[in-house]
Structure 1
């Protein structure tokens, strides 16, 4: 039976409600449940889950609802009791600081504020950001589902006013040492970053910290900024800010390959500054970058190494190897591949960070022919049906098809746990994963990944080689060393970077392919 409870004009943020939905499903007698605000998306999701009802169609976006399929009437009372308990826990843990209900009251409380973080439904974001820019506030727009037209309008207005409008879908920034959204605890230092990639920017900033340097500012742009329609407005705005910043000695630019005309415009700006510039247009035109006077990069890790070298006054050189001695790496590979069976031929990548997944596929393309993906490098390798995964596969679990009605997998690791059950079988030789720690991420993503690996091992006849990297720093709340130990205790090979993890996988797959060729 389906039962519904609605509370009029009661607002809770979507991530909190999605996490509560997950926990309430564990109540005995619950078949399925959805806790959410009455948005059209949530009502559609309810219908798709078989939890819809005529009454639910009348619920407004300002109303909070619980819809559940239950075994008997008494279970609904337990569901509501559990929901209220979890809501009270969230309220208590959020503290008792005054939370202004309007922009006006917020400005009165913090008259010296010069930045606002916006995380609301995308259809309402344009109006709110426009008002914030009118108040001369810089903006970090975390929301997605904002139109390209709205993005262009808002960024043009920000540029005219000399402000930052980072986003939409900007997930990472560190401004004046303050981490915003998904970000790591990175030491202050001489390197400034402008990034159109969230996890790519986190990987570089965390590596800079690990290498003993630090960041002056980390400015996000949103993933569409370097497309033709937007023209790189915020990367240029951020770049100009870092050129003017006396604390920034080296500038780093990170993006997937920009539109050619946008790349040309940005590199023209690069050529005009005397500050050293490191550019990682992941898979972009290396020669064009060199001609601008900037230093081109091979991987995100290589970007960090070169930026730190320049900050120390040293000559940047390509970093294409391992932090450990190669003899140790080769011995570890030999130990792992010795347990593989002839039928284990496939590679699996299960990523929470899209740019890290993209980097992995570009690097592995030198070894493995044809990696299927939901973010394929070429259209012929697009996965049409995510329930039928075969061959070599690398997934970005943060894409929309995995996040409708549930939090991003960096917040809720159950998305990857579910894919372990469907994607890791006895045909798999090696599985590659990322673990992203820091603010915004799950409290123990390494522990959750270790649990998934432990569970899948019970269902496998063969021993899969599990390889991972951790994006984060010693200062992050999840504890980098602890996270590494948890994974290693489960038999996972943990490498210092995504690039080194991919190189390890390449070595394993070279053995697999050599066996297959015999």
Structure 2
């Protein structure tokens, strides 16, 4: 049933805005499909705003706050599709809803018209293509275990992209995989490169002799991209899912992946990326690594370098260092790095602070990549700058979900709170763009930190999505008589579909300062905040 309400009418004879909303019971569509449809609806003549979302609590709040649903909206649940349109006329709103139906019917017709037989289940797919040995699974978390069990039962390695999977389910799935000698990468595993084939959010990097295993998706992207920029190449890049090194999971996939890299003739250097493992997991891992006859570089972000003292493991303090050390090892050179060029950084800090007001002493970071957000927090902490965050290192600095930023704040907008029923922020920029405007309006903010992640699976033009928001953020600050430094980094290569240099150019033309990598952007931001505090 279609419902309508008047939300505003200009008393001087202006246009009356109308909101129409509709609930489609028990109709599920993936979040990317709904994002594409919503974007097209918002471009239609007479449409002010539009959104089509699954009926999660988080999406309910988003649509209510946008004025797209109200008290008279029919009740709905997580399995229902909710359509909301705000338009200049009733007809424009109705046309937008009709477009959604046309869009969905068109996708169905296109799928049916394909000459290749489409499998509707994993067993059918396996029977149609018996040589298949790998499954990529991306379904709502409540269905993920069942699908992963089917895949493992069919003898398939699994990349489980789905999140919102219980820890117990993860443990049992990985135990099942180990019994069968199969990889079970995930849940919430977004990045993998196997024999040159990129899966999930992964970048186009040159082949080489460096093999990586990571419990950190965007960390894996960042390091493989930096290796490519430094002239090195990647043999394999395996993801485990972010919880694999917790005590409850026991590093099951990390251990199996390390053995795979040990036995891979194309891999001559091994890189490990993760947060610090649980103590007992670390002990088992070091015992395993002690038997490796290949150089090992480890970036246990936020960990203590003494963890690897007396072992054959080379410590990397951040993702940039991990890439540089790996390339040196791959070239047969000593794995030592020169000190940071602090003089150059300080000169740049002076230039950027010149237009800031004395009271601008805070920064805000809005990240699509959780590992990049985590790395930035660590670098700020090293510089004496504590930050509130939804993934805080210290529970005292935990920012509750949905709360406004405080002082210095870094947000991982790929966390479950933001992605429940919504596409990942590497695909859908709506929430990040809206938050950028809010942060820019705070007169105490000096720096806005952003990541821009390219590669397969991500938005076709992430910089193009960020650029208008960057301009708008700087306009908001200028209207208040101040400047705003917007720092960004680009995780992409020249051979990615988005083209790294093109993305950098778009961001710089919009007014952003683009650093060479995320770590350098964070160091530059820290320098600005330290200088502003001194002022």
TM-score by length of 2: 0.87
2:142 aligns to what? 123
Matched, 1:157 2:176: yes
Mapped partners of 2:232, 2:251: distance in 1: 28
Query: How many angstroms does 1:33 deviate by?
Result: 5.1
3-state SS in 1 of match to 2:382: coil
2:85/2:97 contact within 8 Å kept: no
1:412 aligns to what? 428
Mapped partners of 2:338, 2:518: distance in 1: 13
3-state SS in 1 of match to 2:309: helix
Matched, 1:400 2:419: no
2:437 aligns to what? 421
Matched, 1:465 2:482: no
Mapped partners of 2:178, 2:61: distance in 1: 38
Mapped partners of 2:485, 2:198: distance in 1: 34
Find 2:465's aligned residue among 419, 439, 448.
448
Find 2:248's aligned residue among 206, 219, 229.
229
Mapped partners of 1:136, 1:207: distance in 2: 34
Deviations 1:39-76 (A, max 9, x none): 8987898789745778654x894x75645577765345
C-alpha distance 148-53 of structure 1, shift in aligned 2 (>3 A)? farther
2:332 aligns to what? 313
1:350/1:394 contact within 8 Å kept: yes
1:348/1:428 contact within 8 Å kept: yes
Mapped partners of 1:469, 1:54: distance in 2: 42
C-alpha distance 91-497 of structure 1, shift in aligned 2 (>3 A)? farther
2:293 aligns to what? 274
Deviations 1:362-414 (A, max 9, x none): 11113343311111121221224744323111111112222233222111122
C-alpha distance 55-396 of structure 1, shift in aligned 2 (>3 A)? closer
Query: How many angstroms does 1:218 deviate by?
Result: 0.8
3-state SS in 2 of match to 1:440: coil
Name the Cα RMSD after superposition: 2.8
Mapped partners of 1:305, 1:98: distance in 2: 46
Query: How many angstroms does 1:5 deviate by?
Result: 5.2
Does 366-375 or 428-437 show the bigger shift? 366-375
Matched, 1:364 2:383: no
Query: How many angstroms does 1:198 deviate by?
Result: 0.6
3-state SS in 2 of match to 1:284: coil
3-state SS in 2 of match to 1:139: strand
C-alpha distance 43-377 of structure 1, shift in aligned 2 (>3 A)? closer
Mapped partners of 2:504, 2:72: distance in 1: 47
1:350 aligns to what? 366
Mapped partners of 1:222, 1:245: distance in 2: 21
Does 365-374 or 390-399 show the bigger shift? 365-374
1:304 aligns to what? 323
Query: How many angstroms does 1:6 deviate by?
Result: 6.5
3-state SS in 1 of match to 2:489: strand
2:132 aligns to what? 113
Query: How many angstroms does 1:306 deviate by?
Result: 0.7
1:4/1:56 contact within 8 Å kept: no
1:18 aligns to what? 35
Aligned residues: 510
1:248 aligns to what? 267
Does 439-448 or 249-258 show the bigger shift? 439-448
Output aligned runs, 1:279-290, within 5 Å.
Answer: 279-290=298-309
Does 82-91 or 101-110 show the bigger shift? 82-91
TM-score by length of 1: 0.90
2:55/2:78 contact within 8 Å kept: yes
Query: How many angstroms does 1:117 deviate by?
Result: 0.1
Matched, 1:492 2:508: no
1:478 aligns to what? 498
Deviations 1:202-244 (A, max 9, x none): 1111111111111111111111111111000000011111111
C-alpha distance 429-45 of structure 1, shift in aligned 2 (>3 A)? closer
What runs of 5+ residues in structure 2 fail to find an aligned partner?
5-19
Matched, 1:133 2:158: no
3-state SS in 2 of match to 1:458: helix
Does 326-335 or 240-249 show the bigger shift? 326-335
Query: How many angstroms does 1:437 deviate by?
Result: 0.8
Query: How many angstroms does 1:29 deviate by?
Result: 6.5
Mapped partners of 2:95, 2:311: distance in 1: 64
Query: How many angstroms does 1:490 deviate by?
Result: 2.6
2:533 aligns to what? 513
